[in-house]
Structure 1
Amino acid sequence: MADSREIEGLLERMGGELRELMRRRGREDAAMVGIHTGGVWIAERLHPLLELEAPLGTLDISFYRDDFTRIGMNPQVRPSELPFTVDERHIILVDDVLHTGRTIRAALNELFDYGRPASITLAVLVERSGRELPIEADVVGLQMPLAADEHVKLSGPEPLTLEVQKTA
């Protein structure tokens, strides 16, 4: 579907769009947070492109998911790391795929547990069809209309590739 060269091109464009958006909004002092796992991989590529001063933060939203009882315990729960103050900070939240919106809702819940950000800008590599919550990305690398029985998977971290798969 998309190889590492194509993804790197998308990330370069996203970096430029984010830089311009932050400049227009007067938010050059923003901090970036990636959602485990794919969002962290994308954020690790975007962070240096934006030359942000604050170190990269990471969120593991496993305990904030609304389908926790349905999917059970995530065997790879990682601690969230926010090496900066969230209060009154402009945050760039990064994820790999925006589908239903539930992952982003969970990430917002966790971020607000750390404090009250001044603003949150959402950047995603892929925005696909199937939204269940009113959540929209500010910067999108690729839009993909997919059937209900299809999903897109980011593999990585080296190299990053995207693949569309049918649900069994």
Structure 2
Amino acid sequence: MKEKTQILDQPAISRAIKRISHEIIERNKGTDDLVVVGIKTRGIPLAKRLQESISQIEQVNVPTGELDISLYRDDLSNKDLDDEATVNQRTIDEDITGKTVILVDDVLFTGRTVRAALDAIIDLGRPKQIQLAVLIDRGHRELPIRADYVGKNIPTSLQEVIKVQLSETDGNDQVSIYE
């Protein structure tokens, strides 16, 4: 694959995180009963960045968690799952019952990852509400799922691939389109 264009650099990603943080605070009238949960892999560092940004704005530590949705995927066969994934690791220390869960992922595409994450969240408890925050929404939904908070909408063709790189997982921050 060849890089077609870079869409977001490190400062643009930081601005998107800050804007989404403000939107979350405004929509929820503060931070009471919020829990930020990142979907493995790149949703986890994005969730931590959102939590840090919200904490800087509101001077409150919002609980965060991590979600591995491997067992909930409908597009992976059992042979695609490794031993670690089949344990279905969830690191959410906060009881989510009655809370507003902000589910965080890097790219919203078909909606299948989010659907799997919703199933995993519901298995943990009954939140008051689940809201979705994504860095990139590229369209092409197969399920009726939409993000509440979007860093950037990027219409793509099905032949294009969005690659999100974050310093925590990849050593640098950027979002690019490949073809």
1:67 paired residue number: 75
> Among 154, 160, 166, which residue is 2:164 paired with?
154
Q: Are 1:40 and 2:44 an aligned pair?
A: yes
1:21: Cα distance to partner?
Answer: 1.1
Deviations 1:18-50 (A, max 9, x none): 111111xx7632111000111111111100222
* Corresponding residue of 1:19: 25
Match of residue 131, structure 2, among 104, 121, 127: 121
Change (3 A) 1:85 1:69: same
CA RMSD of aligned residues (A): 1.9
Matched, 1:31 2:39: no
Question: Which residue among 132, 142, 145 is the counterpart of 2:152?
Answer: 142
Could you tell me the TM-score, scaled by structure 2's length? 0.84
Tell which has more relative contact order, 1 or 2 (C-alpha 8 A, sep 6+).
2
Alpha-carbon deviation of 1:53? 3.4
> Taking structure 1 as reference, are residues 73 and 165 closer, same or farther at Cα in structure 2, changes over 3 Å only?
same
Runs (5+) with no aligned partner, structure 2 = 1-5
Contact 1:59–1:80 (Cα < 8 Å) also in 2: yes
Structure 1 residues not aligned, in runs of 5+? none
Amino acid at match of 2:77: T
Does the CA-based 8 Å contact 1:54-1:84 persist in structure 2?
A: no
The offset of 1:112, in angstroms, is 0.7
- Read off the aligned partner of 2:102 and give its amino acid letter: I
Task: State which drifts further: 48-57 or 67-76.
Answer: 67-76
Aligned residues: 164
Percent sequence identity over aligned pairs = 38
